[in-house]
């Protein structure tokens, strides 16, 4: 976000006319400038106490020369610099877009797939920076700009000059608490693995909205960096293995920038796989009830036909047409109907007991047999 110039801010730096303020940091202030042809650039002016240090000027010139060899595809290209003037300054290409910290604060954490795309873009930018022999040492959400063509890394390589000045200067902070590596917090030598650790912390912030070691003062965060475990419980499942490898305490166990790029692309392809067909060994769940399935709305559900006899009378014409014109608006669309509850099977009561049955009369002997016996008796 571009703000106006404040009283005491310079109006001209080198050949660039300053028209606004972009921000500030530990090294100095960043202004929006315009070249003679009207091209926007970001001009960073070094603080006066750092400019008085001769060793800082030497290392600053060395890092600016190395930063000019870095490709500007995923970084802010160095346009011009002055390391020998009364106030050292650095001009880079202006990147139109919010920083990662502003985007997450305003829009919330990123989903898994955009976070993997961010990891791939930052890994490719770090690979170009490390190939030029430069170590960023201050990778944090405010130093990542989200441009329309992908993420851009700014302020690369310059923080190494600040680190060198902090050895002789008092009160200067090396790196950003919560995003620096353990070896950087302990004052040891740093290299490309230090940027990989910072990359894991930046990805955690992008996917969860907070750092992997929480919040607190600088000594508390430094202690957690060196001895504590990161909190990765809220990370998406597709991003967690990659971040765990980046946040390893041992620099030798962290992946390189090219390995992070390959892992992010593989995880992104896995997250974007088609899911129309069930996977092998995957069992489909029960199908919903017929009345609970989503139905397509009737093509005339939005058509309203006005009856020539006027509107229907409430309570009388409900359920039957009041004229030869049928008004589809009276009927509710099939998609808007509520699913009817599933009825239980009808219970049939047992039959009622009838009158008691009378006992059956005994059978009489056959008369023919009885007459036969009579004849035999008579004879």
Residues annotated as catalytic (active site), given as ranges? 138
Distances (CA, A) of 156 to 160, 191, 205, 268: 9, 13, 20, 27
Question: Would you tell me the crossing angle of helices 159-168 and 54-67 to the nearest 10 degrees?
Answer: 160
Q: Report how far residue 238's alpha carbon sits from residue 266's, in angstroms, rounded to the nearest whole number.
A: 10
> Which of 187, 179, 163, 190 is CA-nearest to residue 218?
179
Q: Report how far residue 181's alpha carbon sits from residue 197's, in angstroms, rounded to the nearest whole number.
A: 6
* Angle (nearest 5°) at CA 346 between 341 and 347: 135
**Helical (H) or strand (E) element with 89:** strand 89-93
Q: Do the beta carbons of residue 160 and residue 64 sit within 8 Å? A: no
Long-range own/partner contacts, residues 253-258 (CB < 8 A, 24 or more apart): 254/193, 254/196, 254/197, 255/196, 256/127, 256/192, 256/196, 257/123, 257/124, 257/126, 257/127, 257/130, 257/192, 257/195, 257/196, 258/123, 258/127
Q: Report how far residue 40's alpha carbon sits from residue 34's, in angstroms, rounded to the nearest whole number.
A: 5
Tokens of 349: 């009561």
Give the helix, strand, coil percentages of the chain, each rounded to 5: 35, 10, 50
**How many Cβ atoms are within 10 Å of 80's Cβ, its own excluded?**
17
């Amino acid at each position: 976000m571009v703000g106006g110039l404040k009283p005491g801010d310079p109006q001209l730096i080198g050949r660039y006319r300053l028209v606004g303020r972009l921000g500030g940091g530990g090294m100095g202030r960043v202004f929006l400038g315009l070249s003679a042809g009207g091209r926007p650039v970001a001009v960073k002016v070094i603080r006066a106490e750092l400019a008085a240090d001769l060793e800082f000027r030497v290392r600053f010139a060395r890092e600016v020369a190395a930063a000019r060899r870095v490709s500007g595809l995923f970084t802010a290209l160095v346009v011009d610099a002055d390391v020998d003037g009364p106030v050292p300054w650095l001009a880079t290409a202006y990147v139109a877009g919010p920083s990662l910290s502003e985007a997450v604060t305003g829009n919330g954490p990123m989903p898994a797939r955009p976070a993997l795309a961010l990891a791939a873009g930052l890994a490719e930018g770090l690979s170009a920076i490390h190939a030029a022999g430069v170590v960023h040492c201050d990778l944090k959400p405010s130093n990542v700009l989200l441009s329309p063509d992908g993420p851009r890394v700014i302020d690369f390589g310059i923080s190494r000059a600040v680190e060198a000045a902090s050895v002789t200067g008092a009160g200067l902070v090396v790196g950003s608490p919560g995003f620096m590596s353990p070896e950087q917090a302990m004052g040891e030598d740093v290299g490309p693995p230090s940027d990989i650790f910072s990359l894991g912390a930046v990805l955690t912030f992008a996917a969860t909205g907070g750092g992997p070691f929480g919040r607190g003062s600088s000594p508390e965060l430094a202690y957690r960096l060196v001895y504590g475990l990161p909190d990765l419980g809220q990370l998406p499942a597709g991003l967690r293995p990659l971040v765990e490898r980046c946040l390893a305490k041992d620099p030798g166990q962290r992946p390189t920038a090219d390995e992070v790029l390959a892992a992010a692309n593989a995880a992104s392809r896995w997250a974007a796989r088609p899911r129309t067909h069930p996977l092998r060994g995957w069992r489909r769940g029960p199908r919903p009830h017929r009345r609970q399935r989503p139905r397509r709305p009737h093509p005339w559900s939005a058509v309203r036909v006005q009856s020539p006899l006027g509107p229907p009378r409430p309570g009388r014409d409900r359920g039957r047409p009041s004229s030869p014109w049928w008004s589809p608006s009276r009927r509710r669309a099939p998609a808007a109907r509520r699913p009817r509850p599933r009825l239980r099977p009808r219970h049939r009561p047992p039959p009622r007991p009838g009158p008691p049955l009378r006992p059956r009369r005994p059978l009489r002997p056959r008369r023919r047999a009885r007459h036969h016996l009579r004849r035999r008796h008579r004879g």
